[in-house]
Structure 1
Amino acid sequence: MCKCLPPLVFIASVSALSFALVSVAKPQAAGVVKDPGPSHTLGAKPPMIDANTVVLFEGKDWSKFTDVDTTKPSGFTVGDKGIGIAGGHDTVSKDVFGDHQLHVEFMCPVSDKEGQGKSNSGVYIHGRYEIQVLDTFGMEAKDNHCGGIYKVATPLVNAC
C-alpha cells in the first residue's frame, strides 16, 4: 500500500529557469575548482518516457501546478524562451506522489552575483527535502550547491 506524501513543491526565485554560462575569468573564490572541465550534464539525454512517466511540465503547459497560496495568481508565465516569474512564489504540483524518480531540467541566467545570489532556487520533494537549483558551475560539490539535498546530502557531481 502506498502512503501518498505531500505534492512535489517547486520554489523559484526571480531568476528562476532561464540560461547561464559562467565565465571563470574572474579571480577564483574559495571552493572554486581552477579548471572545472566540461559540464557533467551538458548534452545529457533525458530519461526515456514510458507508460509510467508523469510529465509535469513539457515546456508549454503550467496547468499541473498551483501556487501554495491559492488566493493569489501564480506569478509564473510560460513563453517561447522558458518560464518567467514576477517575485518569489511557492508552487506545488496538483498531483500527489509516493515513491518516484524525479528528472528536472533547468537553466540559470548569467549573473555577476556570487554564492547563494546566483539564481538560488530549489525543488522540494515530499514537502521536506530541498534539491538545490543554483549556479555553482566549477565549484566543489556541497550539500548547498546545485543538485545537493540541502543540509542532507552532497551531490555525486556538481549538477551545473
Structure 2
Amino acid sequence: MNQTGETAVTTETAQKEGLGKALGRIASGVFLVSFTKDGKKDGMLSTFVMQGGFDAPVVVVAVNNKRPLLDVLKPGDTFVVNVMSKANMDVYKSFAKPFQEGMDRYEGIALKDGTEHPVLANGVSYITCKVMSYAPATDHQLLIAEAIDGEQLTEEEPMIHLRKNGFGY
C-alpha cells in the first residue's frame, strides 16, 4: 500500500480503465469488407481500416485472429472496402447479427451492378484492394493490401465509430 492507501492492483486497474477510455476515443470509420469466394458473397464489418501508403496506395485492415476471412483471402486475392454512412444502417444491422448457416447477409441490400465483389450501391465510396501480405498484431492480423480501384458513390458523410472502452468492439 502507498501513502494514499492505494494498492498496486487498484493503481493498475485505474490505469487500464484510463487507457481503455483513451483508446475508445480514437475515432474510426465503419466499413464493410466484402469479397466473393467460390461464387459466394461474404463480408464482415470493420472499424479497423486505414490508408497505409501513397505510392502505391495501401489499405490496412486489422482482422481478428478468429475471423474466417483469414483463411479465405490470400496474397493476390482481391476484396472491397465499402465506406459506410448512417444511410447504411440496414447493412450494419445485417452484418452485426451472428452468422447462421444458409444466411444471406446481402438479402435486401442494394448492390452496384457489374462488380466482382459486393459494392454497396448507396455506400459513401468503395475501394477494390489486392492482398499483399499479413502481419501479426497480437489478437489481430494486419491485412496489407494495394488499393487498385475505387469510386466515391455519394456525398454522404462517412459513419464514425467511437467505443466506450478501447479493449473491445
- TM-score, normalised by the number of residues in structure 1: 0.25
Higher strand share: 2
Higher helix share: 2
